[in-house]
Amino acid sequence: MSAKKTEAPTLQQRLRCEFDHLFGRMSCEREASVELDGIVLCEEHALQAKLEGQITCWRAMLAHIELWSRKATRRDRPQIRELLEVERLKVEAATERASRDLELARRRTLISSSGYS
């Protein structure tokens, strides 16, 4: 019986980041290391996708807070309105942090893909 020899995958066999397939952007030549909803991404693009998802969720929360705040105002519920204002400030801060992190991640990706790292 012959023993099967396992070899490390060649460069052509390794999975490449599929970020360009998601958004129609420049292709990414990095090796994919993260699977996200059936799509393989490099670590940098996986981080960007995560942050974009967080920002979308935070913005949806802001929309709901605004709706409930208006309802609290119409029903003359100042305490509820104040609590919602506190939550709005927290969500806005989280959105701002995630947006800054996303911008930094995008810059790092651009720098590393241009060869100036």
Q: Where are the domains of the chain?
A: 44-114
Q: 73: how many CB neighbours lie within 10 A of its CB? A: 13
Instruction: Give tens-digit pLDDT for 2-36.
Output: 455 444 444 444 687 877 666 655 667 788 888 87
Phi, psi for 34 (deg, rounded to 5): -130, 135
User: Mean pLDDT over residues 67-95, rounded?
Assistant: 98
Supply the pLDDT for residue 10. 43
Whether the CB-CB separation of 45 and 17 falls below 8 Å is answered with yes
Distance separating alpha carbons of residues 67 and 78, to the nearest angstrom: 15
Structure confidence at residue 35 (pLDDT): 86
How many CA atoms lie within 13 Å of 108's alpha carbon, on the beta-carbon side?
11
Number of Cβ atoms within 10 Å of the Cβ of 57? 14
pTM above 0.85, yes or no: no
